[in-house]
């Protein structure tokens, strides 16, 4: 049996914010790659890598908050307790 593919219609503001964040992260990663290609000093690369990691964590926090306020809240209102189990599993993955 194939797994159900879920989708979410995002508000335009949320959509743009998420894409802007991802574009900045993508740019940071390209910058790190360029630093490696140019044999930059390890500490400088690590500093940029830490910044990219912080940006990705920030993205995850925003997306998780949006998910809780919309998908999870709607699921609970509709009596779908599975959304809680799904949320707990997701938080466990994020905290590894």
Band (pLDDT 50/70/90 cuts) for residue 1 is low
Question: According to the model, what pLDDT value does residue 89 have?
Answer: 96
State pLDDT tens for residues 2-61: 778 889 899 999 999 999 999 999 999 999 999 999 999 999 999 999 999 999 999 999
Alpha carbon distance, N-terminus to C-terminus of the chain: 29
Question: According to the model, what pLDDT value does residue 96 have?
Answer: 86
To 10 degrees, what angle do helices 42-67 and 12-37 make?
Answer: 160
Domain residue ranges of the chain, discontinuous segments joined by +? 20-94
Contacts of 75 (CB under 8 A, 6+ apart): 81, 82, 83, 84
User: 20-94 adopts what CATH topology?
Assistant: Methane Monooxygenase Hydroxylase; Chain G, domain 1 (1.20.58)
Which pTM was predicted? 0.87
Question: According to the model, what pLDDT value does residue 6 have?
Answer: 86
């Amino acid at each position: 049996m194939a797994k159900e593919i879920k989708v979410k219609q995002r508000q335009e503001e949320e959509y743009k914010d998420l894409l802007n964040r991802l574009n900045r992260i993508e740019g940071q990663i390209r910058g790190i790659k360029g630093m490696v290609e140019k044999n930059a000093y390890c500490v400088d690369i690590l500093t940029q890598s830490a910044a990219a990691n912080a940006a990705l964590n920030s993205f995850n926090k925003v997306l998780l908050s949006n998910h809780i306020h919309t998908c999870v809240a709607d699921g609970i209102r509709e009596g779908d307790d599975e959304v809680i189990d799904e949320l707990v599993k997701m938080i466990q993955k994020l905290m590894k």
